[in-house]
Amino acid sequence: MTPAAAATELSAEEIKRYSRHLIMPEVGIDGQRKLKESSVLCIGAGGLGSPAAMYLAAAGVGRIGVVDFDVVDFSNLQRQLLHGTSDVGRSKLASARSRINDINPHVQVDGYEVALSSENALELFKPYDVILDGTDNFPTRYLVNDACVLSGHKPNAYGSIFRFEGQASVFATKDGPCYRCLYPEPPPPGLVPSCAEGGVLGVLPGIIGVIQATETIKLMLGIGEPLIGRFMIYDALKMRFRELKLRKDPDCPVCGTHPTVTKLIDYEQFCGIVPEPQSTVVPVTGESEWEITSTRLKQRLDAGDKLFILDVREPNEYQINRIAGSTLIPLGELPRRYQELPKDQEIILQCKMGGRSQKALDFLRTVGFGKMKNLKGGILDWIDKVDPSQPKY
Amino acid sequence: MPNTINIPTPLRPFTDKKESVEVTGATVGELLADLTTRHDGLRKHLYTDEGRLRNFVNIYLNDEDIRYLQKEQTPVKAGDTLSIVPSVAGGVW
């Protein structure tokens, strides 16, 4: 999309490689040269970034940037095809680079092992024609959107996935809507569905990531009808696509006629995420009145304390691992089942990491339960400290 | 004649896991009121304490955003489908 450098020639090897493109008049030699002169920045080398980057590389996009600072984990392999079993423990960037180079050595791969932030986004976006948003959280999503608009309307090939459902669109083009035209503000953290309802079907990002790659290529070639002003919703269970109309909102705070956001802001704060003094990565040590550590729980059980252990996860999670003797009542069922709990016994609440069980504890307090403790760090901490024989997820 | 409201995945825990709910009413607002009467747990996800639709929840009548129609006063006719389209996070993980 940069002014056609007449010098961009395709080698004999490249002509062979791209022959199925070259014989289509919609691409042809000129289109293939355009792809070679074009660049895309993938935000994230995960579920969406994987298929997108691989297909864009194979298609002959000249320069692919990847922003990711994560390390490949076993739990990524179910859907993140850039990474293989032998890459577990390796940086996602290194793994992505070798995979992309293997698919197509003619691609220039730029790796950025950083967290995208308000400080670096505009600078990182500068050399690229299209931004491909494969992020999983609201602060980064708004950051990518705003940075695309503020970079002079860089197209944002957007995708998002949740369980069996995916969404895709192209945002922030000059005349099209941006993500904020659709959602001016993010949901407050408390109203985001809990991790109990999370998870994702492994093939889902394949569909959505390839839609993002398709739109990227169409933008680079200037062909077809781009997914601008349209919002695609895909339901894998029903195998159905729905399309909704999107409009550019003249009152949009970023791309409207009188924008109030003219530079990048603090997106964590914008999304209501207050940095917690003690995050989950901090080792679980101390206890408060309403908390108990795994080690202490083990001591008390060994000492014969009669404790009622309430697991508030979902049944499929309980199948993977559990504390012996615990009772399962999923958080969502608690409001109509709390009367099954003993009134005269101390209750230990527990989930995967401690978030849902904290909500359960807050709820049970409102209906009159008093002797309760939340297991800090949940079953994962229990497995780390007490029972390493059980699998983690 | 009832109309259908499509419930997105993140909100299905509040509709007994139902993907769609049959509701009756003459306007978008009435359909939503009927929905939250049937499934009270949805109310705080759709409305603020002051009773305004939350602005991270978009309501579509067929394929059109109600913000560009007559919002909650938009009349509905037989066969119209309402969709709740909330913002969803999820991608890398």
pLDDT in tens, A33-75: 999 999 999 999 999 999 999 999 999 999 999 999 999 999 9
What does the block give as tokens for B93?
Answer: 């993980």
Determine whether A255 is an active site residue: no
Token readout for A212 is 């993002």
Sign of CA dihedral A137, A270, B57, B60: negative
Residue of B47, B54, B93 to mutate when probing chain A, most A C-beta within 10 A? B93
List, as one string, the DSSP characters of A146-158.
Answer: HHHHHTTS--EEE
Q: Is the dihedral of CA B4, A242, A153, A187 positive or negative?
A: positive
pLDDT at residue number A128: 98
- 8-state DSSP, B54: P
Q: Tell me the per-residue pLDDT of B27-85, one tens digit each, with 9 for 90 and over.
A: 999 999 999 999 998 998 899 889 999 888 899 999 999 999 999 999 999 999 999 99
**What residue in B sits closest to A45 (Cα-Cα)?**
B92
Q: Which residues of B touch A48 (CB under 8 A)?
A: 91-92
Give the pLDDT confidence score for residue A327 in this predicted structure.
97
**What is the Rg, in whole angstroms, of the alpha carbon atoms belonging to chain B?**
13
> Are B10 and A193 an interchain contact pair (Cβ–Cβ within 8 Å)?
yes
Q: Mutation test of the interface with chain B: which of A133, A137, A268, choosing the one with the most B Cβ atoms within 10 A?
A: A137
d(CA A142, CA A125): 15
For residue A282, the model assigns a pLDDT of 41
| Pairwise CB contact (< 8 Å): B91 & A205 | yes
CA distance A332 to chain B (A): 7
Nearest-Cα residue of chain A relative to residue B92 = A46
CB pair distance less than 8 Å for A247 and B10? no
Residue from A131, A242, A352 to probe the interface with B (highest B Cβ count within 10 Å): A242
Give CA–CA dist A269/A265, Å, rounded: 9
Q: Which residue on chain B is closest to A77 by alpha carbon?
A: B93
Among the partner-chain residues B60, B64, B88, the one whose CB lies closest to the CB of A160 is B88
Q: Concatenated DSSP letters for A105-124?
A: TTSEEEEE-S---TTTHHHH
* ipTM for the complex shown: 0.86
* pLDDT of B18 higher than 50: yes
* Contact state of A242 with B83 under an 8 Å Cβ cutoff: yes
Min CA distance, A47 vs chain B (Å)?
A: 5
Residue A271: active-site member: no
pLDDT beneath 50, residues of chain A? 4-5, 194-196, 276-284
**In angstroms, rounded to a whole number, what is the distance separating the alpha carbons of residues A76 and A133?**
18
Residues of B in contact with A131 (CB under 8 A): none
Q: How many CB atoms lie under 10 A from the CB of residue A281?
A: 5
**Structure-token pair, residue A342:** 């003993």
Cβ–Cβ < 8 Å for B46, B57: yes
Instruction: Select from A70, A136, A186 the Cβ nearest to the Cβ of B90.
Output: A136
Instruction: Please tell me the pTM assigned to this model.
Output: 0.85
Indicate yes or no: CB of A137 within 8 angstroms of CB of B60: no
* pLDDT number for residue A274: 66
From residue A45, alpha-carbon distances to A56, A91, A92 in Å are 13, 10, 7
